[in-house]
Each structure stands twice: as C-alpha cells, then as structure tokens.
C-alpha cells in the first residue's frame, strides 16, 4: 500500500507493484469464488479472475444470460450452477446481481453465508441501506467490496488490452482477520488499474450521486438544453448535435482526459478560452444548488427507496422501456445515429 498526494490530500492506493498478482493468487489459494449474476459486472469479473488463474464458479438462473455464460465457457454442473448452488459452494460469494435482485435473492442464500466465508459486493447499496434492503450478514462473515469505476464491459475489454479499470475497495466487516488481504487480492485478480480506499457508505452515496449527476443524468440534461436552444434559434439538427455532443465526445474529452482541463483550454482558440473561463462560473453557480439537492436526496436514502420501490413494481420493465424508447427516438439521439454513420471509421 502506498500513500499518494491527490491535490494536497493523502490517500492510500494499491497497485500491482505493491500487491502482485502472484501474491493475490497465494492469498486466495483454496478459495472458491462464486460470482452470482452474469449481467453487468459478472462476466467481466468472472472471466478476468478465471484468466488470471483463480478458482471461479458462476451462479445464474436459466435463460438468455445463462446461455451467454455457457457461450463464455462456463460449464453447467462444473463451473456454472444455480444461484443457490453457487452460494453454497463458494467461500467468497460475490453479489453481482442488480440491487433489486440482491434484495430478492438474499433470503434464499443467507443460510449459505456461514462463518469464515466472505460476502463480496461491487456496490455499497445493499449494505449501506440494509434497513431498506434487509441484507444483514452474520457476524462471522467477512463483508468486502471492490467497485470498478467503469462498466463490466470496459473491465473486460481493458483487461484483454493489458490495461485496468481503477476501482475502490472497502472492508465493512472483518470476521476472519484476513478481510483486507482478501479484498486487495480480489481487486488485483479482476485486473484493477489501481485500488483506492473507501467505505460502503461513501461508495454508495458517491455512486448514486455520480449516476444521477455528471455521469448520466446531468450530462443528458445539459446536452438537451443546449441542443434545444440551438434548434429553437434556427440551427440544423446536424449543427446543433455537433456543437453539443460530437465535438465534446470525439475531440475535447480525449484531450482533458489525457492532459487536464487547463491543457485543453490552452490548446483551444483564444475566443474559446475566454468564453469558457467567463461562463464556467455562472454554470457552476447555477448547477451547484441542484447538486446539493441531489446529494441530500441520495444521502438520506430517498433515492435508494425510489429505486427499490420502482423496481418492485410488476410493470417497471415495461415503463422503463417506454422511457428509454422516448430517449432513443428524440431528435437529438436520432441525429446521433446519422452522425455516427458519417464518422470516417464507419464511412
């Protein structure tokens, strides 16, 4: 473990230099890692662990996702089981089901979480809001988390490219005295770029805030507002989309991702620099109260309860598909389909 200075704040980070893959294999030797769920994070984590030489099994109910697991090389009755069978066989049981599915499955697998086992998560939701989810592990169980800061698809793709997605890690309950080693070994095993320390509460709150904020909710709201203003003032769909989305994602984001916002500003026109510097403060001042409102809604558990209540409705999937269809069929994202086709690599 190494101390790193992040803008004047010292944090503990772990990389494969401090905690090698060989050490990870030693720590988890004799463990059976049972990955429950093969949807979002499951495939990437399970396949990366398998490729890195760990003993992995998958628990998934039959259906299309089960068939995908079979195509990925998991063998029914040998490395692919029902969720209950996998939970019983595993010594590290990984809850990589959706938050709603975790709530539904927990009563069926709780009895298999016996003393000495570890219960693993990649999101703090179920434990942080245990009063709402009902997920309360027994005192004899390690409760650990590695939360990759990227999708399961990215985790797998970057692993195959020889790179890693950064991830946070946390120990919520150390029953065996080896929870920290277990979680760090797991993080290295799935191919994390580096691991930084957190808690289940901080991860859950920051994750829900990010999803509703700059990662998804706020970015769509910002895109749509600018696109609408341009269109309402006579700009064509192509022009509005390029000035709102395409230039940002294809040109500018790679620059400030690699070099920082100051470098990106310094390498734009003087007109763009001046305008960006002048307008970033009004945008900040307008948006920050909304971010505070969002954060308090997450922190209080209100957003978690909305998610739980929504997912428990029998027609939730149907309503969700209607909302996603409306988003997909909006003029801005129909324009995006045409613009993507016109990119040089697709021409």
Closest CA to 311 of 149, 138, 171, 126: 126
What distance in Å separates the CA atoms of residue 280 and residue 287, rounded to the nearest whole number?
10
Residue with token string 């009004």:
282
Centre a 10 Å sphere on the Cβ of residue 164 and count the other Cβ atoms it contains. Answer: 22
Task: Tell me how crowded residue 201 is: count the other CB atoms within 10 A of its CB.
Answer: 15
Give 18-26's long-range contacts (Cβ < 8 A, gap of 24+): 19/184, 19/185, 19/188, 20/188, 21/52, 21/188, 21/189, 23/185, 23/188, 24/52, 24/184, 24/185, 24/186, 24/188, 24/189, 25/52, 25/53, 25/54, 25/185, 25/189
Three-state DSSP state, 111? helix
Tell me which H or E stretch contains 171.
strand 167-173
Q: Which residue has the tokens 């396949």?
A: 47
Distance of CA 68 to the CA centre of its chain: 21
284 is catalytic: no
Choose the catalytic residue: 123, 172, 235, 284: 123
> What DSSP assignment string belongs to 118-144?
EEEESSSHHHHTHHHH-----TTSEEE
Radius of gyration of the chain (CA): 22
- Rounded to whole angstroms, the Cα distance separating 160 from 176 reads 33
Q: Which residue has the tokens 């980070």?
A: 13
Burial class (CB in 10 A: 0-12, 13-18, 19+), 180: middle
Active site residues: 123
């Amino acid at each position: 473990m190494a101390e790193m200075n992040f803008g004047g704040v010292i944090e503990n980070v772990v990389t494969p230099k401090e905690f090698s893959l060989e050490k990870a294999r030693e720590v988890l030797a004799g463990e059976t890692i049972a990955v429950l769920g093969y949807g979002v994070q499951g495939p990437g984590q399970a396949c990366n662990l398998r490729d890195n030489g760990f003993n992995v099994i998958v628990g998934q109910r039959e259906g299309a996702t089960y068939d995908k697991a079979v195509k990925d090389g998991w063998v029914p009755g040998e490395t692919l089981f029902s969720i209950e069978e996998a939970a019983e066989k595993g010594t590290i049981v990984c809850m990589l089901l959706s938050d709603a599915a975790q709530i539904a499955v927990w009563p069926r697998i709780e009895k298999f979480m016996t003393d000495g086992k570890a219960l693993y998560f990649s999101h703090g939701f179920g434990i942080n809001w245990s009063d709402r989810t009902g997920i309360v592990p027994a005192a004899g169980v390690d409760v650990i988390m590695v939360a990759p800061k990227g999708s399961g698809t990215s985790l797998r793709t970057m692993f195959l490219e020889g790179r890693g997605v950064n991830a946070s890690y946390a120990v919520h309950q150390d029953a065996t005295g080896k929870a920290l080693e277990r979680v760090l070994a797991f993080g290295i095993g799935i191919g994390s770029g580096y691991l930084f320390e957190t808690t289940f509460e901080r991860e859950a709150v920051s994750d829900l805030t990010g999803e509703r904020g700059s990662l998804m909710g706020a970015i769509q709201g910002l895109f749509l507002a600018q696109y609408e203003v341009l269109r309402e003032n006579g700009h064509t769909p192509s022009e509005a989309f390029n000035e709102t989305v395409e230039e940002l994602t294809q040109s500018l984001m790679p620059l400030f991702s690699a070099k920082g916002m100051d470098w990106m500003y310094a390498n734009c026109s003087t007109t763009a620099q001046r305008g960006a510097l002048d307008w970033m403060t009004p945008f900040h001042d307008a948006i920050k109260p909304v971010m505070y409102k969002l954060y308090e809604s997450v922190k209080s558990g209100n957003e978690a309860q909305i998610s739980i209540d929504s997912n428990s409705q029998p027609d939730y999937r149907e309503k969700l598909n209607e909302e996603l269809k409306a988003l997909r069929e909006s003029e801005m994202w129909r324009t995006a389909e045409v613009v993507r086709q016109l990119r040089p690599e697709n021409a």
